[in-house]
Structure 1
Amino acid sequence: MSTVAPTFLQSTLLVSNREITMRLRSKAFLISTGILLLAALASIVIGSVVSANAEPTKVAVQRSVINALPELRQFAVTDVNTRAEAEKLVRSGAVEAAIVSNSKVSKLGITVIGLSSPPSEVIAAVSVAPDLQLLDTSKKNPLLTYLVALGFGLVFFMSAVTFGSTIAQSVVEEKSTRVVEILMSTIPVRTLLAGKILGNSILAFAQIALIAILAGVGLLVTGQATLLGTLGPSIIWFIVFFTFGFILLAALFAAAASLVSRQEDMPSVTTPVTMLVMVPYVLVILFNDNPIVLGIMSYVPFSAPVGMPMRIFLGTAQWWEPLLSLSILLVSTAFVIVLGSRIYENSLLRMGGRVKLREALAR
């Protein structure tokens, strides 16, 4: 009795399910994922505790409006005589905000002055929303910018390297034990590659989504809803860019690993791919407030998953730039998948020494 051969989609799903099941049964994978989630939650809780124990916000208040304001016991208040004096203190960093008289513009009769971002705590304290003026809208809090850059860079680096290395180890293990010969007798090579990429991409996406959800819940529970509103759009774009960026890297890890037949030879072929992940991590930490470097990073496929979300957070990206960057990433991903599948297909059955890249690319 003849049997109907499985379709490409059915075979791909079968391989991906196998990859997911193997990872979920791995104690090392579950422990590392748990540690990563706990680290994300701990960073939010620690940040909340530190901010709660921080010194009172320093605010300059013009003497002419003191009687019109509610009590400001939660702030360290500095009295000033003129608006110019208040602005000088804000610009110098001596105070974080100022409350001055402005009866001609605001019905409330006051204006809250901030430097680079709205002083939400001061605005909430005066009960009724006053007229707001920002002296420098091009800057974010340096510490917050650094932490956001560190978060994006670290999550991208750890997830990409962890799952990329898992794919590479799986390819080399199947090749060295000749299990791949059995698999190839039942399903096409490209189906095997597609299943590996799909399975590990699903796991990587699920991990990133869990971190994002946990971070959002943590910010809400610790009373940092304003910060969540600021980070929300950049986190969403980070997840989108990471999804396709990881598929690109997964194809490279699988193709590189297919060039060798022994686990000890794997680092020599996967190191270049690992460097492609490490470079964006280092650059976004060192140049998190450099518009030129971030601008270049946001259009390079390997660094776009980190560079573009950072620009969205900083407010320096135009509305069309994420779409253009994502289009470049999608085209690059498709090209790398085609190239990687050729290397993978031509190298998988070649045992022994390392396969030269030129031979792997040849028809």
Structure 2
Amino acid sequence: MNTFEAVRIVAAREIRVKLRDKTFLFSTIFFLLFSVGATVLPALLADGASTVAVTGTAPAAVTAAGLDVRTVADEAAARAQVRDGEVDAALLGDGTVVALTDAPSDLVNALSTRPTVELLDPSAVDDTLLVLVPMFFGLIFFFVSLMFGLQIAQSVTEEKQTRVVEILVASVPVRVLLAGKVLAGTVLAFGQIALIAVVALAGMRIAGGDSGLLTLLGPAIAWFLPFFLIGFVMLAALWAAVGALVNRQEDLSGASMPVQMVVLLPFFAVTMFSGDPAVMKVLSYVPFSAPTAMPVRLFQGDAAGWEPVASLVLLAAATVAVLFVGARLYEGSLLRSNGRTSMAAAWRDREARRLADLETESA
């Protein structure tokens, strides 16, 4: 059996186990419902009666439609209230409707003839979406990477605790076992994320999302997928190493705290500073926050065309480095059964094993 075949067998076993896990199935359903809600909710929130500034007397059709009509002195005042967000739209004396990003459908439909529509800032993103989209990307990456990462760590610890790992290592190399677990977790997590992305786009269609919104959100979701894939592989190696450092499930929570913080802090940073372009630009190049920050910047229109490519390359380089560190800690602690192993001890033990293997080969 070659290395690739061994990795495939280990990964297939892990995938079969997880597909029968009720927690995995329920979490998938939850995230699908969440993605539908996140895409449909903005349309539902926009269904209230619009506030309209008018110059002079409002037409009877507008009054009958139940709109909140506010009389202003002149057209300049009407445009100023629209730009400041005090009203949703303005109806000028010549019948022109003035709006900021999109004309309110209830006002347009109330008029007897379709008026001329003037948009002051057609490229602006709705304020509700500016809050929901960063939260959407952040929650998806945080919960999925945390959930699947913990499952990888728990699987490794369980095999150590039951001493099954000794049988497995006798059949396949340690790195093959690690590669299989990381591959299985990545396939399941990426499959879940891809399904959520498809459902989110479908939810936008069902909610009546316009082509402008799809144009903004589509590239962000498309870039989120490769960012998530590479970012999860990086974190999966760390989770597997954490699982190998302990011998009991009870000790896993404390040992995994550093990795949990690595996942948690970027989530809070992106959601809290999504409105600060300078901070978001820095976060989009930090490997642990880039999978969330860069898609958000693409949605907001703040990223140049070359930036996601550069950020993805930097993330890939960081992933290679983290994989090396995680594999070394995993190998140095997997077969140790004398309590919790420190990272320093695991690092030294892996080096000692390598030197011993070289001496054996030389002899």
RMSD between superposed Cα atoms in Å = 3.0
Q: 1:101 offset after TM fit, Å?
A: 8.8
**How many residue pairs are counted as aligned between the two chains?**
345
1:228 aligns with 2:220: no
State the 1:50 CA deviation: 3.6
Whether 1:31 and 2:26 are equivalent positions in the alignment is yes
Give the gaps of 5 or more residues in structure 1.
1-5, 103-108
> 324, 330, 346: which is aligned to 1:344?
330
Cα displacement (A) at 1:205: 0.7
2:150 maps to what in 1?
Answer: 165
User: For 2:154 and 2:55, how far apart are their aligned partners in 1?
Assistant: 66
**Match for residue 6 of structure 2 among 8, 11, 15:** 11
Quick one: distance in 1 between partners of 2:64 and 2:198?
35
Q: Deviations over 1:107-152 (max 9, x none)?
A: xx968452xx4547599878688564329x6x64333211112111
Matching residue of 1:152: 137
Structure 1 residue 272, shift from structure 2 partner:
0.6
User: Aligned-pair distance for 1:83?
Assistant: 3.9
Q: Which moved more, 1:158-167 or 1:293-302?
A: 293-302
Q: Which amino acid letter does the alignment assign opposite residue 310 of structure 1?
A: V
Contact 2:97 2:103 in 1 (8 A): no
1:73: Cα distance to partner? 5.1
Give the 3-state SS of the residue equivalent to 1:351 in structure 2: coil
Equivalent residues in 2 for 1:320-335 (5 A)?
A: 320-335=306-321
Q: Does 1:318 align with 2:318?
A: no
Deviations 1:8-54 (A, max 9, x none): 211111111111100001122212222222233344445444433x2
Query: What TM-score does the superposition give when structure 1 sets the normalisation length?
Result: 0.84
Please tell me whether the aligned partners of residues 123 and 130 of structure 1 are also in contact (alpha carbons under 8 angstroms): no
Cα shift readout 1:282-333 (whole Å, capped 9, x = no counterpart): 1222222111221121111111111111111111111111111111100000
Task: Quote how far apart the aligned CAs of 1:208 are.
Answer: 0.9
SS at structure 2 position matched to 1:223: coil
Q: Contact (CA 8 Å) 1:111, 1:133: kept in 2 or not? A: no
TM-score by length of 2: 0.84
Choose from 83, 89, 95 the match for 2:81: 89
Segment drifting more, 139-148 vs 190-199? 139-148
For 2:138, the aligned partner's letter is G
Percent of matched pairs sharing the same residue: 42
Instruction: Give the whole-Å Cα distance in 2 for the aligned partners of 1:236 and 1:128.
Output: 37
- The answer to whether the 8 Å contact 1:99/1:113 transfers is no
Which amino acid counterpart does residue 263 of structure 1 have in structure 2?
Answer: Q
Structure 2 unaligned residues grouped into runs of 5+:
352-363
- Select the residue among 324, 348, 353 that pairs with 2:339: 353
| 1:271–1:344 Cα change, 3 Å | same
Q: Say if 2:138 and 2:267, in contact at 8 Å, map to a contact too.
A: yes
Give the CA deviation at 1:275.
0.8
AA in 1 matched with 2:257: T
Mapped to 2, the partners of 1:143 and 1:267 lie a distance apart of 36
- Cα separation, 2, equivalents of 1:94 and 1:198: 52
Q: 1:270 aligns with which of 236, 256, 259?
A: 256
2:195 corresponds to 1:178: no
**Structure-to-structure mapping, 1:4-153, within 5 angstroms:** 6-52=1-47, 54=48, 56-60=49-53, 76=68, 78=70, 82-98=74-90, 112-114=98-100, 117-119=101-103, 121=105, 132-134=119-121, 140-153=125-138
